[in-house]
């Protein structure tokens, strides 16, 4: 395969200039607070209620395509599938969200189409589009936007938060949207923003650590579990859903989930398969920062085949974790998690690359798969 | 070792008769709602706000020691370390909580002391006592209760929720309590009750599945992370803390946690070690329902030594997961998770035993350790 050995980043964000203008014009979160410190601009991004530490410092790495390419060059990343960062359009009224989604999808198409060539047939940048997933939007408007994204050559999927049109992703009103996404083959990148209720974090100052390290993965775990419990993966078996942060806590809680389902009269026998089976239908980014985590996620994917209805569940054989690697894809979370001190390479990126390299039981083919080949295949970039 | 091969259950609960009387006398949650259906008693346990499905059916397995012994006999369990079930004393005013803690500790001592002999030197039942951890309790009252428990021969630790005296376990007011627990060597069994805010579960009827499968482990994960971030494990390095449900999501999120700490100016360099180091100081029950989960938890414990300050972090060698098994201990969560149909053995118990047996990379010694030897050693039951 001509492109073997490519490094592809499928978890990398942008606030497009049009979106930044909106954030700068706002008085409430999400917003960019523009000020200066000693004559230098000191812009701060505030995306969460009660943002700790006065917000994150933001600069051109959040919106400038040249900065994205520089970051990629510095870390040896050949190709990136870029997505708008949270909270997307969640805070907008329906009509505004629809218009802005459409404009931002066009903007991202241009952002990608004008990026350097990687090869005669490939650009260095592709993108995940946005749907106007907000309360009171019409399903027709969502379907129109799916169609728009499908027609834009450089957009290969959509990024989605967990609130749907206000009631979460287990809302059956979304069924036509899932159907359209399944039919078009667009990859759905499921990404958190809200975490869980902040009362859980207590009153000590721990900066962003608790909402980011725990709240984000919890939210992804809840949303995916609710998708499973609502039968979405039964009704739309060809949906291609990519989970941020390696699925959060879902892999580690998946056998507990299966057991709780088995023991609850309300849900027992509602699903077509054991809960663990559905994890083998999902894709997981490899943004977990440790080789043991990645190896475990690949075990959980690999074992899923044992749990289809009708499969005799056998626990007595070691799973082949090379199989699970096929659904895992390298990502960086750029431009978030910048190093506190200036360094040539970002620690967060180096750690995720080292983690892939150090997974016990993965050979060269699995590692190259996770580094890039799986992404090229998932996004049909050949 | 004379007792090798014993099966020991360290996660098994009781509502002592005195506590049940209190629950029956109450009009608000937690309560036991006594009614009858076709002439037969139909008691329901309501321990959560907005309890789904009208509450859990409860019967003598929740309070009767003979039922506990029968359950143990049916599953080949030699010895159990029994703990009061949530929500303990959390809902009581301080003076009442202090008195009741003291009485329930005496009750549990008697419950154990009158249990059958396992061997000339051992009973079949031991216990975790209760501290009156409620708002406005005096630290002196907590220390008196630690002392009481320490003096009761059959109580080998305490079970604890996550709220402390109202502000969580990262409250420095608790330092004298940690100091006393460290000094006495009592094992602290950290157990969830509250989950996270129920709004996260959406409005579909999924019974108890979401709060139990996800909320419970999330709560344990948050509490333990807050303990780590507050430096409790730095100040009290000999504390012996046992985490319910294999530590919830903490193992899978531990490298992400370390990365978030590294990248946050508020907490970077506050801790003595990388976050992953602390997981090697903890104990984990083996209540995770899958061999891959257990193997992964043992990897995470085993790798912790690499992350002490001063240790050169090496990712390039496979961890020895046999080492991690030493801190893992079989449990059943009885009398919760009863099978929906009447069966000889409980599926939840069988699954956890099969999972231990199927962990790849554990030999007979590791499996016997997790089944019982580690518990006998942790609780000094020799």
Task: Give the pLDDT confidence score for residue A39 in this predicted structure.
Answer: 83
What confidence tens digit (pLDDT) does each residue in B250-270 have?
A: 999 999 999 999 999 889 889
8 Å CB contact of B217 and A360:
no
Q: How far apart are CA A258 and CA A269, in angstroms?
A: 11
Contacts of A316 in chain B (CB under 8 A): 357-358
- Find all residues with CB under 8 Å of A132, minimum gap 6, and list them: A89, A92, A94, A97, A98, A100, A101, A141, A142, A145
Task: Give the pLDDT confidence score for residue B228 in this predicted structure.
Answer: 98
Residue B151: how many other CB atoms lie within 10 Å: 11
Is residue A337 in a domain? yes
Cβ density class A243-269: b for 16+ within 10 Å, e for less: bbbbbbbbbbbbbbbbbbbbbbeebee
Rounded to the nearest integer, the mean pLDDT of chain A is 95
Longest dimension (CA), chain B: 69
For A203, the closest chain B residue by CA position comes to B167
8 Å CB contact of B255 and A338:
no
8 Å CB contact of A206 and B196:
no
- Using pLDDT thresholds of 50, 70 and 90, give the confidence band for residue A51: confident
- Phi, psi (deg, nearest 5) at residue B360: -65, 130
Length of chain B: 382
Q: How far apart are CA B203 and CA B193, in angstroms?
A: 21
- Using pLDDT thresholds of 50, 70 and 90, give the confidence band for residue A314: low
Select the residue of A209, A252, A354 nearest B252 (Cβ to Cβ).
A252
Domain range for A170: 8-17+61-378
Contacts of B208 in chain A (CB under 8 A): 260, 264, 266
* Disruptive mutation site among B230, B250, B252, B318 for chain A (greatest number of A CBs within 10 Å): B252
Residue A52 pLDDT > 90, yes or no?
A: no
Q: What is the CATH number for A80?
A: 3.20.20.140
Is residue A48 in a domain? no
CA distance A116 to chain B (A): 31
Q: How far apart are CA A107 and CA B373, in angstroms?
A: 62
Task: Give the pLDDT confidence score for residue A2 in this predicted structure.
Answer: 41
Is residue B242 in a domain? yes
Q: How far apart are CA B306 and CA B46, in angstroms?
A: 45
- The DSSP call for residue B42 is -
Residue B367 pLDDT > 50, yes or no?
A: yes
8 Å CB contact of B261 and A213:
yes
Q: How far apart are CA A113 and CA A227, in angstroms?
A: 34
Question: Higher confidence at residue A378 or residue A34?
Answer: A378
Number of domains in chain B: 1
Is residue A53 in a domain? no
Residue A168 pLDDT > 70, yes or no?
A: yes
Contacts of B279 in chain A (CB under 8 A): none
Q: How far apart are CA A149 and CA A153, in angstroms?
A: 8
Select the residue of B209, B299, B315 nearest A267 (Cβ to Cβ).
B209
Is residue A13 in a domain? yes
CA distance A266 to chain B (A): 5
Select the residue of B206, B226, B255 nearest A290 (Cβ to Cβ).
B255
Is residue A117 in a domain? yes
Residue B20 pLDDT > 50, yes or no?
A: yes
Residue A3 pLDDT > 50, yes or no?
A: no
8 Å CB contact of B203 and A167:
yes
Gyration radius of chain B over CA positions? 20
Residue B310 pLDDT > 90, yes or no?
A: no
Rounded to the nearest integer, the mean pLDDT of chain B is 95
Contacts of B274 in chain A (CB under 8 A): none
* Disruptive mutation site among A56, A259, A271 for chain B (greatest number of B CBs within 10 Å): A259
Contacts of B221 in chain A (CB under 8 A): 214, 249
Q: How far apart are CA B168 and CA A206, in angstroms?
A: 14
CA distance B333 to chain A (A): 12
Contacts of B355 in chain A (CB under 8 A): 255, 315
What confidence tens digit (pLDDT) does each residue in A342-364 have?
A: 888 999 999 999 999 999 999 99
Of B4, B19, B191, B200, residue with least CA distance to B104: B19
- Find all residues with CB under 8 Å of B283, minimum gap 6, and list them: B187, B240, B241, B242, B243, B327, B328, B329, B378
Determine which of A259-263, B45-49, B153-157, B225-229 has the lowest per-residue pLDDT on average: B45-49
Longest dimension (CA), chain A: 68
Task: Give the pLDDT confidence score for residue B1 in this predicted structure.
Answer: 40
CA distance B160 to chain A (A): 17
- Using pLDDT thresholds of 50, 70 and 90, give the confidence band for residue A65: very high
8 Å CB contact of B259 and A351:
yes
Q: How far apart are CA B200 and CA B197, in angstroms?
A: 6
Is residue A47 in a domain? no
8 Å CB contact of B289 and A258:
yes
């Amino acid at each position: 395969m001509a492109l073997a050995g490519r490094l592809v980043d499928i978890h990398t964000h942008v606030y497009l200039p049009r979106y930044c203008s909106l954030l700068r014009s706002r008085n409430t979160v999400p917003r960019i607070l523009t000020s200066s410190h000693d004559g230098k601009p000191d812009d701060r991004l505030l995306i969460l209620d009660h943002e700790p530490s006065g917000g994150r410092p933001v600069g051109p790495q959040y919106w400038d395509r040249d900065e994205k390419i520089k970051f990629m060059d510095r870390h040896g990343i050949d190709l990136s599938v870029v997505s708008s960062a949270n909270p997307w359009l969640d805070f907008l009224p329906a009509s505004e969200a629809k218009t802005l989604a459409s404009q931002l999808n066009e903007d991202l198409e241009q952002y990608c189409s004008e990026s350097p060539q990687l090869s005669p047939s490939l650009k260095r940048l592709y993108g995940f589009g946005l749907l106007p997933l907000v309360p009171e939007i019409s399903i027709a408007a969502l379907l129109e936007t799916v169609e728009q994204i499908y027609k834009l050559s450089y957009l290969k999927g959509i990024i989605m938060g967990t609130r749907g049109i206000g009631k979460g992703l287990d809302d059956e009103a979304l069924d036509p949207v899932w159907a359209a996404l399944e039919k078009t083959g667009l990859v759905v990148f499921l990404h958190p923003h809200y975490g869980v209720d902040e009362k859980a974090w207590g009153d000590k100052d721990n900066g962003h650590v608790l909402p980011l390290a725990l709240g984000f993965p919890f939210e992804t775990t809840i949303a995916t579990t609710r998708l499973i419990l609502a039968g979405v993966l039964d009704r739309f078996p060809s949906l291609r859903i990519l989970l941020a942060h390696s699925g959060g806590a879902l892999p580690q809680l998946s056998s507990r989930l299966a057991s709780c389902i088995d023991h609850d009269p309300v849900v027992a026998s509602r699903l077509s398969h054991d809960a663990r089976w559905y994890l083998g239908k999902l894709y997981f980014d490899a943004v977990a920062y440790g080789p043991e985590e990645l190896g475990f996620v690949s075990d959980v994917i690999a074992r899923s085949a044992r749990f289809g209805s009708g499969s005799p569940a056998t626990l007595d054989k070691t799973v082949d974790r090379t199989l699970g690697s096929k659904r895992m894809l390298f990502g960086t979370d750029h431009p978030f998690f910048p190093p506190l001190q200036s360094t040539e390479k970002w620690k967060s990126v180096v750690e995720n690359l080292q983690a892939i390299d150090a997974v016990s039981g993965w050979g060269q083919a699995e590692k190259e798969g996770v580094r890039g080949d799986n992404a090229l295949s998932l996004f049909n970039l050949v």
